[in-house]
Every structure is written in structure tokens, then in C-alpha cells.
Amino acid sequence: MSAANATTPPVLIVGAGPAGLVAALALVQNDIPVRVVEKLPAFHTASRGSGVHSRSLEVYHFLGLTEDIRHAIKPLISMRAYKLPEGTEATRTWKILETVEPTPDRPITNASGAAIGQFVLEGVFRDHLAKHGVQVELATELVSFEQDADGVTATLKHAPGTDQESTETFRAAYVIGADGGKGVTRRQIGATFEGVTKDEDGHVWADVSVENLSDEYWHIWSEPERFTVSMRPTYGEGRFHVGIVGANWDPADLMDQTKFVKFIHENTGRRELKFSNFSSMTYWKPKMRMVNKFYSGRAFLVGDAAHVHSPTGGQGLNTSIQDSFNLAWKIALVYKDLAKPELLSSFEAERLPVVTLMLATTSGLYNRFVATKDAAAPPDPKDKSRFLEWRNNALSMMDINYRWSPIVLDARGNGDDLDALKAKAYEGYPGEDVHAGDRAPGAPALIDAEGNATWLHDIYKPALHTILVFSPKTDETDGQVNAVVDTVKALPKGTYQVVILARHGVPKARSGAVAYHDSKGYAFGAYRVEEGKLTVVAVRPDAYVGAFLYDAHDLQVYFSRIFRST
């Protein structure tokens, strides 16, 4: 449990995968006590969920994880396919995903690396949680819970051999279910898991040492409309994440190591490959499902507890941590009684349309997990993706937006057709002006009065609203900026920061605000600020634009949607 506020009921987080751990990290950085339980008796060692997209790298940066992630991340190596039946002649070399080069408004991307084993990533998360006094409790399972107006009473079961009694009744402020598709939390809140399971297919994956295979490529053998064998280098010399993907047949019996190796030898032609030191084996059927609701009362679903899908597009883990990052700051404000409980409903309102469209996209890509008979044919111009080659700009997750959200406010208007706005939740509006509900762009080359440089992505914080005041050079500027600063000062202490930006030098200093010269014009450009017009942008703790405004009055209106009183 976090030591920050150990005398009050913590938030109970069920499941210590990426979604649960990111929820815990974001909450403790908001000074909210947490307890993280995991029913497994030990941390897993599988490399699944290795894809890292640009938006996730931003989230890790905001949580202070950048240095550790940078040391653990692996480069995006090329895939190489081989001709069957011999399996040695390379037929094609390519990247599964397009690299996204950094720009001033998108300074953190997957251009230099795009893979990190899930077990390694979870280790980074746990190490940082430990700095806040939080340890994951293994072999501790949620059995059931009951809610009332003031909290949640949970029944926990401890595995034999632990230091605690076998059953525990525990009082929590909220429950975050990150316990996967088979978890208890979803069933407890009565959420249905709607969608399909590909019963005709099956996957077997293993982390294993492979001799006589180069680690310079991600190796692929595929028999059209029957199977794909994938071998991706992981951590340690000669270590690979090896998968057998069945199309229209189920390789469940290949969970036996001998049969697993025999299948690969016989179907790839690569009998010289030697397999040893299996550290994990996993079997599963592809599922494309999501819940009909993301919360009930004080219980919330994140990650695989809310949505499961094929690994195509690498969206699963990345979507899961963004669920948690969206939810955490809202729970924090309500927990502290600074916001009304109604704020929590925006979690479902924002995430449900995004996940719906993401699931549709990845389900479409699943059909390209195994080669088809016409795999060599040029891709459809309307869909540039093909066999194990995902060419969809939405996969970077940088254009996900919440323009329809009930808590965002844009003085220019976001449009009244909510269905039309939700239809663009996942693919967004690339190249268009930034609106309330969009990801908050970054900008480097911000210079303070002492000549020190910083960038917006170092300014945004997961426990603060950041109010960006774009200050023009007009006679009215002083009064307008003062009105904004005075409005913000009425907010609860410790929930905000004010940043004043100017094009032509460092703007006038004001109490309670920091000032920077936008020396290269990147910030004014990224937010498309009109010349000579005061512009105020409220960036939420999850680094999304909450409001795009032109005066102090509208800023007050926005914050009335967030806080109890402003």
C-alpha cells in the first residue's frame, strides 16, 4: 500500500499486468494510496505484448519512466520471410510497422525502438512503484465485492503458504479491475463481453533458446491459409519468442515441447534449428471482444478486463495503459473530494468509442496474420496493410481523441453531431487544427528568463492541469492574462500550473505562473494560435486538451465541469 495516505481506504487494483501497474503508478503520483493484488503466485516471464507505440512512449515519459524504458527497449528489426518447403531462401524483408519520425509537436516516437518484452516492462513499472512504497501482493485473488455509497468491501483469497489468513475482508475506496478477460471484476459489475472468438484458429507461443538462427531478423515462415511460424529475437543471446499461428486449425496439442519443435522442423524445413530452455509456453484462441460498460459505481474495468483482441497492430497493451492513464486522474480528484463523482462517468464516455473502433481495426488486420494465396499481390489502395505489414497511421495512437466528451470545451465548437465525432475517435484528424479533446502537442525550445530551455512534454504532469496562456503583444494583454491567472488561482491548490508563452521574448512574470519565450514558434505553431489573439489551452493530467478558449470566463466554465466549485 502507498505510504502517502495509509490511514484512508486505498484504491484496490486487481491484476498486476501493464494496465493495473500503470493505474497504480498514476494514482500514487496523485498521492492516492493503492493496493495491488495479483492471483498468480509469481510474475510471468513471457515476452508477449512487446509492441510499443508512440503514444505509449509519451505516457511513460509523463510517468517518469523514460530512462528505464530507453535502456530496455529493443529496436524495430526487419521481418524476413522464407520460401517453403526448404525454408532457407529469403523471399522478402520488411518492417511490420512504419517507424514514426519525431517532429516538434510529436517529439517522442517509436523511431529508435519499438519493442519491449512485457515481463521486462512490468518489471520497470514495479521498480517505480516500489519507490512509492507499493509492492504487488502475489497469490492474492479477488473473490467478490459489494459496493455502498462510501466505498467497496472486497473479499480476497490468499493462496496457502502466504503469511495471511486464507480469506480477507478488505475495505477500498474504489476497485480497478485489471484482471483480464477471465477476471472476476467484469462479472461482478454485470458487464457482458460482446464479440467473437476465432474457435477455428489457435496460437501457441514460447520463449525459448534457438541455435543456428540469426538475431538480425524477425523470421517468418507461412503456408498460405494454413499456418505462420514466427521467431522474434528477445532478451539474451539466442533467445526468441516463437509462435505457431494456426489458420482454420487449432494447434492446441503443440503445447507439448517435443511436438512444438517437431512441427517447426517439419513445416519450415529448418531441421538444423535447435530448441532448448523453454521458459514459457502459452496457448490461446484469438478473441475480439469488449465490454458493454466500463464501470459500475465505484468499480472500473481497464485493459483485457474490458477488451481483448488479436495481437495484430500491437494495440492491446498500448490501449490498456491508456485506459488506466485516462482513469487515474479522475479517480484522484474524486477521491480527494475535489470533483463530483459524475466526473468518473467520462471515463466510459471517452474510452468506449475509442476501443470500439480500435477493435474493429485490429480485427480486420487479423485476417493478414497468415499469408493468403495472393499474398504477393499489391495491397488495396484503400488499405495499404497486407500480410504482417500494418500500414495504418492510426496504429501510432497519436490521433486518438475525445472531442465529443462531456467534460471538454472548445470556444470554436467541436460540432454538434456526436455520432460523427465518435466515428473519428480512433483515427482522429491528422493535419487539422488542435481542438479540445485532442492529444496535447509538444514543443521544444521554450526559454525562460535565465536562458534555460525546456519543452512542453517535460512540463505536462500526471497530477496537474497545465494552463497554457498564449500571450499576444497587444494593449489588452496584461488585463487578459491577469484575469486568467486570477481565475486559475481559485482552483484547489496543487491541482494546476500556469505557463505563459510569448512569441517575441519572455513574457511578463506573474505570481503563480512560469513564463517562457517560444523561441522557435513551435508551441504557437502546434496549437495554431492566431496572431494578436489571447489563447488559453487547458491540458489535462493525461496530456489531452481539456479546453481551447479565448478568455477567463470560458476557462471558468471548463473547470466547473471538472471541480466541485471554481
The model's pLDDT over 166-204, given as tens digits with 9 standing for 90+, comes to 999 999 999 999 999 889 999 999 999 988 888 889 999
CB of 1 closer than 8 Å to CB of 33? yes
2 confidence band (pLDDT: 50, 70, 90): very low
Q: Is the pLDDT of residue 550 over 60?
A: yes
Work out the average pLDDT over 262-272: 97
46 confidence band (pLDDT: 50, 70, 90): confident
pTM of the model: 0.93
Q: What is the pLDDT of residues 496-533, one digit of tens each?
A: 999 999 999 999 989 889 999 999 999 999 999 999 99
163 confidence band (pLDDT: 50, 70, 90): low
239 confidence band (pLDDT: 50, 70, 90): very high
> 20: part of which helix (H) or strand (E)?
helix 18-28
Contacts of 245 (CB under 8 A, 6+ apart): 201, 203, 227, 228, 229, 230, 369, 370
Q: Is the pLDDT of residue 472 over 50?
A: yes
Work out the average pLDDT over 444-466: 97
Q: Quick one: pLDDT at residue 367?
A: 73
> At CA 304, angle to CA 368 and CA 319, rounded to 5?
70
Work out the average pLDDT over 551-561: 96
Q: Quick one: pLDDT at residue 4?
A: 40
CB of 257 closer than 8 Å to CB of 278? yes
User: Would you list the domain boundaries of the chain?
Assistant: 3-74+115-194+288-359, 76-108+199-285, 446-560
Tell me the residue ranges of DSSP E strands in 354-417: 409-410
Work out the average pLDDT over 205-219: 96
Q: Is the pLDDT of residue 485 over 80?
A: yes
Burial class (CB in 10 A: 0-12, 13-18, 19+), 533: exposed
Q: What is the 3-state secondary structure (H, E, C) of 192-251?
A: CEEEEECCCCEEEEEEEEEECCCCCCEEEEEECCCEEEEEEECCCCCEEEEEEEECCCCC
Q: Quick one: pLDDT at residue 3?
A: 40
Q: Quick one: pLDDT at residue 111?
A: 64
Work out the average pLDDT over 256-273: 97
Q: Quick one: pLDDT at residue 41?
A: 93
Q: Quick one: pLDDT at residue 361?
A: 87
Work out the average pLDDT over 368-387: 63
74 confidence band (pLDDT: 50, 70, 90): confident
Strands 174-177 and 299-301: parallel
Q: What percent of the chain is modeled with pLDDT above 70?
A: 95
Q: Quick one: pLDDT at residue 387?
A: 82
Cell of 565: 466549485
For the chain, how far is it from start to end, CA to CA, in angstroms?
32
Q: Quick one: pLDDT at residue 301?
A: 98
Tell me the residue ranges of DSSP E strands in 40-132: 79-82, 90-94
**Average pLDDT taken over every residue of the chain:** 92
CB of 408 closer than 8 Å to CB of 562? no
Range of lowest pLDDT (388-392, 430-434, 451-455)? 388-392
Q: Assign a CATH topology to domain 3-74+115-194+288-359.
A: FAD/NAD(P)-binding domain (3.50.50)
Q: Is the pLDDT of residue 534 over 70?
A: yes
Q: Assign a CATH topology to domain 446-560.
A: Glutaredoxin (3.40.30)
Q: Is the pLDDT of residue 101 over 90?
A: no
| Statement: 76-108+199-285 belongs to CATH 3.30.559.30 | no
Q: What is the 3-state secondary structure (H, E, C) of 488-533?
A: HHCCCCCCEEEEEEECCCCCCCCCCEEEEEECCCHHHHHCCCCCCC
Q: What is the pLDDT of residues 300-330, one digit of tens each?
A: 999 999 999 877 777 888 999 999 999 999 9
